[in-house]
Every structure is written in structure tokens, then in C-alpha cells.
Amino acid sequence: MHASDAGYGLWLLAAINAAFFIFFAWSFYKPLTRWDWRGFGMFSAFVVALFAEMYGFPLTLYVLGGWLSANYPQVNWLSHDAGHLLEMWFGWRANPHFGPFHIASFVFIGGGFWLLSTAWPVLYRAQREGRLAREGVYARMRHPQYVAFVLVLTGFLLQWPTLLTLVSYPVLVWAYARLARREERDCLSRFGEDYVSYMQEVPAFIPRRRRGPIRSAGEAR
């Protein structure tokens, strides 16, 4: 079976898909600061690696081919559908595009892009006005843009896990957490006690139930 027959070796398709998702994320995110560009660059590298294996060269299937064939002899590991590893492992092989992991991946990816599209206008207005973003989704979490990227990456990982993306995923999550802390140091130097108050009221990544409106540092606590 030729690579193109199996759904691989389609480098133009890989490039088109990677470019589409990168541009789609950029249209919502539009990085401005160096921290923005670093976070977006890491996301872009993950997407390129993913689609290079999805449509280009299935490195993961070749590396694990012997073990996979021995343990799952009923699966045609040369087929494109076999790249949906979680569906193959858990027996959802009729049409992996309707498998539970594939459906869950769309929920994560869609939720991540929705969060990006919701957070960006709030942050952009605040940056233009030279103030702290604390309304909208920023009233529930301090770093929705990084949460959004992690949601999208999680969705891609559920849909088409590869050795490269499995290794890079925890590294990216750690890097996003570091970028968030560096941004907070910048905000503390710019906004001082107002940002301290904001940090006390709003969690960094996982929203909690609001107890009341966010108050500025000048208000009585």
C-alpha cells in the first residue's frame, strides 16, 4: 500500500490544515507582547507536528507498528483511521470519527477557540486603554488565553495522539504556566496593589464561584 493510498504523504493537505488552524487561532488571539508571541509560537509548533503526522508521515505508527500489530492484529495499522489511536485501542473501530474520544476532542477544541474569541476583545480594549483587564471572562480567571490554548491542545491530543505531541504536551502546559507567572510579574510592576487585589479575587486558571464583584485596591475590603 502506497502512503497516499493510506492517507499519508499528503504534505500539501498537512500544510493547509496546519495553516488554517494557526490562522484561525491568530484571528482570535492576535499576539501583541513578547509573551503573547511565545505562547502562540508554541501552539503553532504543536499544530504543525500534529498535522505532519496526520497527513504526512505517521511516525508514531511506524515506531509502534510492531507492538501494535502484535497486540491488535485485527486493526489495519496502515490505514489513515488507525491514527485515531484511542478509538482503536478501546474498540471503536467502525468509524473513529464518531467515537467518544473524537467527539470529546471537538468539545475541547471548540471550547478553547470560544474562550479565545471571548477573552481577546476584553484584553485588547484594556491594553489600548492602558488598564487592567478584569471584566468578562477575566472576571473568572486571570489567564483565559493560556487555558484556551491548553483546551485546544488537549482536544487535538484526544483526536490524534502522537509520540511528539504526547511528549510536548506537558512541556507546553508547564511553559504556559511559566509565561503566565512572568506576565503577572509585569502586571504587578505596572498596576501594583490593584493587581494584587485582582489576584486575591480571581484564580489564575480554574474559575471558581464568584462571591461578589471584584474590588479595586482603593476600595474598602
Angle, helices 144-159/163-191, rounded to nearest 10 degrees: 180
Cell, residue 10: 499528503
What is the SS3 assignment for 83-124? HCHHHHHCCCCCCHHHCHHHHHHHHHHHHHHHHHHHHHHHHH
User: What's the pLDDT at 76?
Assistant: 85
Taking the C-alpha atoms of residue 166 and residue 109, their distance in angstroms, rounded to an integer, is 17
Percent above pLDDT 90 for the chain: 57
At 158-212, the pLDDT tens digits run 999 999 999 999 999 999 999 999 989 999 999 999 999 999 999 999 988 655 5
At 92-132, the pLDDT tens digits run 767 888 889 999 999 999 999 999 999 989 988 998 898 99
**pTM score, two decimals?**
0.85
Taking the C-alpha atoms of residue 145 and residue 84, their distance in angstroms, rounded to an integer, is 27
Q: Per-residue DSSP letters for 34-48?
A: HHHHHHHHHHHHHHH
The CA–CA distances, whole Å, from 63 to 57, 77, 153, 162 equal: 11, 12, 22, 10
| In 130-143, alpha helices (H) | none
Taking the C-alpha atoms of residue 204 and residue 15, their distance in angstroms, rounded to an integer, is 34
Taking the C-alpha atoms of residue 66 and residue 71, their distance in angstroms, rounded to an integer, is 9
At 58-88, the pLDDT tens digits run 999 889 988 998 998 888 888 888 889 998 8
**Would you call 37 exposed, middle or buried from its count of C-beta atoms within 10 A (0-12, 13-18, 19+)?**
exposed
At 28-48, the pLDDT tens digits run 877 777 878 888 999 999 999
Using DSSP, state whether 9 is helix, strand or coil: coil
Using DSSP, state whether 128 is helix, strand or coil: helix
Q: Who's near 83: CB < 8 A, 6+ residues apart?
A: 7, 53, 54, 58, 60, 61, 160
